[in-house]
Amino acid sequence: MDNIIKLFEDSVADEIFGSFERKNIKQQLQDKNLSKREIDFIRSKIFDIALAKVNATNNKMIVEWLENANKALNGLEKEVQNDIETFFSPGSECKVAIIEAISQAQNSLDVCVFTISDNEISNKLIEAHKRKVKVRILSDNEKLLDKGSDIQLLAQAGIPVKIDNTSNHMHHKFAIIDSKLVLTGSYNWTRSAELYNHENVIVINNQSNTTLFKNQFEKLWKEMSIF
């Protein structure tokens, strides 16, 4: 994914988006057979690139570049109603899937996880909150006392946090992005899960399943206590 983003960054650096560059990017996108989630993530990065580059003298060129860059993405999305992607750890692919999903959130981000102690993920949640995404977090009352837990940090950043108020564990690990996409699986949002544990993350793009997770989140949100 990073090499695709780099191609778009290079294409705008000289303020010329030539036909060779367009063809090269289009071909590489087609070869990767990207999912709709990945295409949406690239599209969001394209707007970030344009925003960082635009100034008073090149705004017309940037608009033209933005139009051509988006055209390169047209027609690549998979027309699949039950789009499921699976990732495994140890290794970074689970965390990358989580970070990409958080980065593409535009309206809402409901997180229901046993524990959060991976600083990179926590920083992405705070970034989402700062760009006016409605972020809510549910977590376990005992795990927030663990060394390295980021729950207090996230609450101090202004993100609404609620915790389990029973003697049992809130052991879920799922997140809902824009009420459309669900991340779930065994993966705890920790560094040890990335580096050592055998875990999984499943990304589900299916409205019926998303609704079930959303209903569960709202149920728990009503039941749990404000941190």
Which residues are known to be catalytic?
171, 173, 178
User: What pLDDT is recorded for position 81?
Assistant: 44
β-pair partners for 83? 205
Q: For residue 107, is it left (φ>0), alpha (ψ between -120 and 50) or beta?
A: alpha
The fold of the 83-226 domain, in CATH, is Endonuclease; Chain A (3.30.870)
Parse the chain into domains and list their residue ranges.
Answer: 2-73, 83-226
DSSP-based three-state secondary structure for 48: helix
CB neighbours (10 Å) of residue 152?
A: 12
Query: Is the peptide bond prior to 160 cis by the omega test (within 30 degrees of 0)?
Result: no
CB neighbours (10 Å) of residue 167?
A: 7
Residue pLDDT, tens place only, 74-97: 777 654 445 788 999 999 999 999
Mean predicted confidence (pLDDT) in 180-189: 95
What is d(CA 93, CA 91) in angstroms, rounded to the nearest whole number?
6
User: What pLDDT is recorded for position 102?
Assistant: 94
